[in-house]
């Protein structure tokens, strides 16, 4: 008896021994090292492809997490998310300012140039 849907459909629910045997079979499948190696490898590949997409979107960590968690669906989501732009900085002191500020809050330089 294998661990699949037909085994579940043909399960004699009045026989606890058969149900226990099917459960044991399915636990064996879930604890198979090759299954976990595939799952880990697919997660790593998903994260790497997501990071590659994120490299062009200026959001490597965001897109790597999406790729690792969702795989190809995460890649599609990453693809359609907007490109992250770097926060504006003051040309005089190079410190971060808010978009739309007229003057730098750190050094007072005009930001409208």
End-to-end CA distance of the chain: 76
Q: Tell the smallest beta-carbon distance from residue 97 to Zn ion (Å).
A: 7
| Binding residue (CB under 5 A) for Zn ion from 23, 93, 101, 110 | 93
- Does 106 bind Zn ion (CB under 5 A)? Our answer is yes
| Residue closest to 46 by CA, chosen among 81, 72, 79 | 72
Is 107 a residue that touches Zn ion (CB under 5 A)?
yes
CA angle 107, 112, 113 (to 5 degrees): 95
Q: Cβ of residue 105: shortest distance to Zn ion, in angstroms?
A: 8
For 50, the 3-state DSSP assignment is helix
Give the binding site for Zn ion (CB under 5 A): 90, 92-93, 104, 106-107, 109
């Amino acid at each position: 008896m294998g661990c699949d849907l037909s085994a579940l459909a043909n399960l004699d629910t009045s026989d606890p021994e058969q149900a226990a045997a099917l459960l044991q079979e399915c636990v064996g499948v879930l604890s198979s090292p090759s299954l976990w190696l595939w799952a880990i490898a697919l997660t790593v590949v998903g994260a790497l492809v997501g990071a590659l997409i994120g490299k062009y979107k200026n959001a490597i960590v965001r897109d790597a997490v999406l790729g690792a968690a969702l795989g190809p669906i995460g890649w599609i989501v990453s693809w359609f998310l907007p490109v992250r732009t770097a926060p504006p900085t003051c040309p005089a002191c190079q410190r971060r300012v808010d978009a739309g500020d007229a003057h730098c809050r750190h050094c007072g330089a005009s930001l409208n140039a």
